[in-house]
Amino acid sequence: MPHRPLRKVKLPETSGRVFDAWLGQIEERLSERDCDRYRLCRQVLFDLYYPGIGDYDELLADTKTPLATRAVLLSLDPHNIALEPEYYHEIDVDRYAQVKPLLWLWQSFDRSPVGAGNVDVGVRFRRILAKHVFQRCGKNFKCFQFVQFSFGYNMDVADNVVVHRYVLLDDRMPIVLSNRVSVADYANIYTHSHSLVDQEDVSSSPTVLGPGVRITYHGTVLGGIEIGEQGMVGALGVATRDIKPYHVHLGIPAISKIVKSNAPPEARAQES
Ligand SMILES: CC(C)(COP(=O)(O)OP(=O)(O)OC[C@H]1O[C@@H](n2cnc3c(N)ncnc32)[C@H](O)[C@@H]1OP(=O)(O)O)[C@@H](O)C(=O)NCCC(=O)NCCS
């Protein structure tokens, strides 16, 4: 296969300066010890969705403001939003309250003109938030748009990790993404499952992806699975069992079909 490293893309200098200043402002506000994250979320979303249009409180209080508009204004404030993970039994309510405004800001930014497709600004914006949401966020975290988390605070992300579009990271328990993990578009990584008989019987355990693991497009990793260094789930595969280092699991349920050619001798044994 031809070697095709990513191209470099540069935004115009004038717009770049505005983006840099805006991102710098948000990063600075978030780093303040007494930062009101709910207020920050509301303000950033108001500026994004109602650019230059008056004052939030006045618009909301004005009875001439249409009800639908007031509903949207209310929805910019995470106090007025019920996110799905808040219904989960195992939530740490206090911890979630800390990250909720940033998760709501993340999701809502992704639907805005700045976040929906602008990779340059989007990756930097999400990196700023991730450092305040995740349990750990290593260097160069690269996250594309429309990624969903459960609690966010259970994400343990090492260096040079890439997460592509429309990925679901169900961190009801810890999800460990080691150095250089890559998660491709539409992949799902779970940490919980339900009993066949009783829907409310939920078991959960951490899911661990070792260094250099790749979950390719539309792959699914079930809760509690461990994938060794350089392991891989092929397109559309469902990993229902642990994957040994350098093994490529394919299909549903995914089984070891290939051992990578760069595998050390001890990793070469195929699964039966
Ligand atoms: C695994 C993959 C790389 C194919 O590897 P490959 O070495 O070229 O494998 P081949 O096409 O020679 O197929 C080997 C066998 O696996 C099967 N196979 C290949 N891909 C499969 C898949 N995704 N699911 C199920 N079976 C698959 C083939 O049918 C073949 O089976 P056979 O031996 O019974 O005939 C490819 O299927 C894949 O999943 N690519 C993901 C794309 C990717 O890299 N995305 C990341 C973007 S960041």
pLDDT average, residue stretch 157-164: 98
Rounded to the nearest whole angstrom, what is the distance from the C-alpha of residue 113 to the centroid of ligand 1?
36
Whether residue 45 is contained in a domain is answered as no
Print burial letters for 52-72: b (CB count within 10 Å at least 16), e (below 16): eeeebeebeeeeeeeeeeeee
Residue 233 has pLDDT above 50, yes or no: yes
Q: Output the six-digit token pair for 158.
A: 């090492």
User: Of 148, 260, 180, 160, nearest to 243 (Cα)?
Assistant: 260
Residue 269 has pLDDT above 90, yes or no: no
What angle in degrees, to the nearest 10, is found between the helix axes of 119-133 and 13-31?
10
Which residues, listed in sequence order, are joined to residue 209 by a DSSP beta bridge? Answer: 177, 227
Mean pLDDT over the full length of the chain? 95
- The enclosing domain of 243 has a CATH number of 2.160.10.10
Q: Please indicate whether residue 236, judged by its CB atom, sits closer than 6 Å to ligand 1.
A: yes
Whether residue 186 is contained in a domain is answered as yes
User: Of 218, 137, 124, nearest to 171 (Cα)?
Assistant: 137
Whether residue 254 is contained in a domain is answered as yes
Whether 181 and 211 have beta carbons less than 8 Å apart is answered as: yes
Cβ-Cβ contacts under 8 Å for 75 (sequence gap 6 or more): 81
Backbone angles phi, psi at 155, to 5 degrees: -85, 125
Rounded to the nearest whole angstrom, what is the distance from the C-alpha of residue 155 to the centroid of ligand 1?
29
Whether residue 54 is contained in a domain is answered as no
Reported pTM: 0.94
Whether residue 127 is contained in a domain is answered as no
The ligand 1 atom at the shortest distance from the C-alpha of residue 234 is 39
Q: What is the pLDDT of residues 173-225, one digit of tens each?
A: 999 999 999 999 999 999 998 889 888 888 889 999 999 999 999 999 999 99
Q: Please indicate whether residue 184, judged by its CB atom, sits closer than 6 Å to ligand 1.
A: yes
Please count the structural domains in the chain.
1
pLDDT average, residue stretch 75-88: 97
Rounded to the nearest whole angstrom, what is the distance from the C-alpha of residue 179 to the centroid of ligand 1?
24
Instruction: Name the residue of 143, 257, 262 whose CB sits within 8 Å of the most ligand 1 atoms, as the mutation to test its pocket.
Output: 257
What is the residue with the minimal CA distance to atom 10 of ligand 1? 258
Spell out where 124-181 has E strands: 136-137, 142-143, 148-149, 155-157, 162-163, 168-169, 175-177
Domain hosting 162: range is 137-267
Is residue 160 very low, low, confident or very high in pLDDT (cuts 50, 70, 90)? Answer: very high
Residue 271 has pLDDT above 60, yes or no: no
Whole-angstrom distance, CA of residue 154 vs CA of residue 86: 14
Whether 201 and 215 have beta carbons less than 8 Å apart is answered as: no
Q: Please indicate whether residue 59, judged by its CB atom, sits closer than 6 Å to ligand 1.
A: no
pLDDT average, residue stretch 83-112: 97
Whether 149 and 157 have beta carbons less than 8 Å apart is answered as: no
Whole-angstrom distance, CA of residue 92 vs CA of residue 175: 16
Whether 92 and 100 have beta carbons less than 8 Å apart is answered as: no
pLDDT at residue number 207 = 98
Q: Please indicate whether residue 238, judged by its CB atom, sits closer than 6 Å to ligand 1.
A: no
Whether residue 255 is contained in a domain is answered as yes
Helices within 6-92 (DSSP H only): 13-31, 37-49, 56-61, 67-75
Whether residue 60 is contained in a domain is answered as no
Q: Classify residue 39 as left (phi > 0), alpha (psi -120 to 50) or beta.
A: alpha
Whether residue 222 is contained in a domain is answered as yes
Is residue 1 very low, low, confident or very high in pLDDT (cuts 50, 70, 90)? Answer: confident
